Amino acid sequence: MAKIAEDVIAAENARAGAALEADYAALGEQLARRGVDIDAVKRKVAGYGVAIPSWGVGTGGTRFARFPGPGEPRDIFDKLDDCAVIHRLTGATPTVSLHIPWDMAPAEDLNSKAEELGLGFDAMNSNTFQDQPGQARSYKFGSLSHSDPATRAQAVEHNLECIALGREIGSKALTVWVGDGSNFPGQANFTRQFERYLEAAKAIYAALPGDWRLFTEHKMYEPAFYSTVVQDWGTNYLIAQELGDKAFCLVDLGHHAPNVNIEMIVARLIRFGKLGGFHFNDSKYGDDDLDTGSIDPYRLFLVFNELVEAEGVPGFDPAHMLDQSHNVTDPIESLMVSAMEVQRAYAQALLVDRAALAGFQDANDALMASATLKAAFRTDVEPILAMARREKGAAADPVAAYRASGYRARVAAERPAASGSGGGIV
């Protein structure tokens, strides 16, 4: 059964019709005066995809409380249904990133469900930051860097299980984030703890299939509040260097100190061939996991400015994923809007006059260099995004179509409130 009735999308797109065409034509004229072919930008935007994190379709929460919404997914198959709705309406999210063991299921069942829904699987995510029922050793004091060799071995083994399942469902990458660190000065020896991490990471890397990539994700603090083993991009880069050619750094936008220049970190990692990909989200204070582009869309644009600058560099193929927590919104709506915000930043970055920018940079014309970026950022590219969606049969206005579809009320009736499906913030 179609999750979203075709006639709902058709009716919404018909409503957008004439106005969208007029807006697209007007923007096309404006861009032509700037030497930009709007159809070329639209084709690139239409070909762009960002992966949905399976854990994102459930309501998130804080360490204080979680307020579940109606019709929450009960298992990975419900989650995939929700992800399919997001892709059906935005046409921008063709893949799903699984988190194990939250999403553990037989590979054949995952494959048949994904095929039915027209989805693929992105990077696998391991979980050694919480204990699972029946687990022999606890991760309370760490996982890959734990002082106990048996606990480290257990954490390595879990990552190998993630690779094994991923191989069967067409994934090509493993993302490893660990919460390992310390809460007190003196609690851990920084050097020995990092050496243990490296040794364990090497064991995972050794099991990586030839056509896979390993993404290690840094995070400044939390759950450890004094020191974290993989705390910043510098440490992350050292890890990727130590492991080898298939190891790359994953940049989660929320995992840095406030005001850190993330776009420059991106440029550095690109320069040295170690940018693996992103977890997109936004933040005001820390690892807030707010919706992508909701707080600082200019920063998101500046990140994409670096990515567009690097397009065509041999081997440059970063993975794009969302990673956010939805506490006060319908997760499907937040993820749709976030996917569109990422596309918007990409479209705006495509509008940057790079020859002019390079000229201003060489001439040390700071004001005009900045103005060149701003001219692209200020351009309202919504008609490009909406037209790209409509042309591929998705919704010109995904949120309006979603609300008109009644999907949430339908699944609320089908899915009795239950807990147990994983929803976390990583």
What is the smallest separation between the CB atom of 305 and Mn ion, expressed in angstroms?
Answer: 22
- Cβ(390)–Cβ(10) below 8 Å: no
Which range binds Mn ion by CB under 5 A, 93-101, 285-293, 323-331, 375-383? 323-331
Subset of residues 229 to 268 that bind Mn ion, contact rule: CB under 5 A: 252
Q: Which residue from 249, 275, 257, 339 is spatially nearest to 53, judged by alpha carbons? A: 339
357 burial level (CB within 10 Å; 0-12, 13-18, 19+): buried
The residue within the footprint of Mn ion, chosen from 88, 146, 274, 279 (CB under 5 A), is 279
Which residue lies nearer to Mn ion by CB, 252 or 397? 252
| Dist. CA 55–CA 96, nearest whole Å | 10
How big is the site for Mn ion, counted in residues (CB under 5 A)? 4
Which residue lies nearer to Mn ion by CB, 83 or 253? 253
What is the smallest separation between the CB atom of 282 and Mn ion, expressed in angstroms?
Answer: 13
What is the smallest separation between the CB atom of 80 and Mn ion, expressed in angstroms?
Answer: 20
| Dist. CA 414–CA 71, nearest whole Å | 7
Which residue lies nearer to Mn ion by CB, 288 or 323? 323
Which residue lies nearer to Mn ion by CB, 334 or 348? 334
- Cβ(92)–Cβ(85) below 8 Å: no
What is the smallest separation between the CB atom of 424 and Mn ion, expressed in angstroms?
Answer: 10
Which range binds Mn ion by CB under 5 A, 44-52, 205-213, 274-282, 297-305? 274-282
| Dist. CA 344–CA 334, nearest whole Å | 15
Subset of residues 111 to 150 that bind Mn ion, contact rule: CB under 5 A: none
Question: What distances in angstroms separate CA 94 from CA 83, 102, 310, one per listed residue?
Answer: 9, 21, 23
| Dist. CA 41–CA 13, nearest whole Å | 21
Which residue lies nearer to Mn ion by CB, 196 or 279? 279
Q: Which residue from 382, 256, 255, 258 is spatially nearest to 324, judged by alpha carbons? A: 255
Which residue lies nearer to Mn ion by CB, 128 or 348? 128
| Dist. CA 118–CA 84, nearest whole Å | 8
Which residue lies nearer to Mn ion by CB, 55 or 205? 55
What is the smallest separation between the CB atom of 289 and Mn ion, expressed in angstroms?
Answer: 8
Which residue lies nearer to Mn ion by CB, 252 or 306? 252
Q: Is 289 in the site for Mn ion (CB under 5 A)?
A: no
What is the smallest separation between the CB atom of 236 and Mn ion, expressed in angstroms?
Answer: 12
Which range binds Mn ion by CB under 5 A, 11-19, 82-90, 100-108, 418-426? 418-426
The residue within the footprint of Mn ion, chosen from 12, 323, 330, 333 (CB under 5 A), is 323
What is the smallest separation between the CB atom of 299 and Mn ion, expressed in angstroms?
Answer: 16
What is the smallest separation between the CB atom of 45 and Mn ion, expressed in angstroms?
Answer: 24
Which range binds Mn ion by CB under 5 A, 47-55, 197-205, 300-308, 318-326? 318-326
Which residue lies nearer to Mn ion by CB, 252 or 288? 252
What is the smallest separation between the CB atom of 50 and Mn ion, expressed in angstroms?
Answer: 13
Tokens at 19, concatenated: 């106005």
Which range binds Mn ion by CB under 5 A, 184-192, 221-229, 273-281, 354-362? 273-281
| Dist. CA 228–CA 246, nearest whole Å | 24
Which residue lies nearer to Mn ion by CB, 359 or 424? 424
Which residue lies nearer to Mn ion by CB, 99 or 279? 279
What is the smallest separation between the CB atom of 395 and Mn ion, expressed in angstroms?
Answer: 28
What is the smallest separation between the CB atom of 426 and Mn ion, expressed in angstroms?
Answer: 5
Which range binds Mn ion by CB under 5 A, 183-191, 198-206, 272-280, 366-374? 272-280
**Which residues in this chain contact Mn ion in the complex, by CB under 5 A?**
252, 279, 323, 426
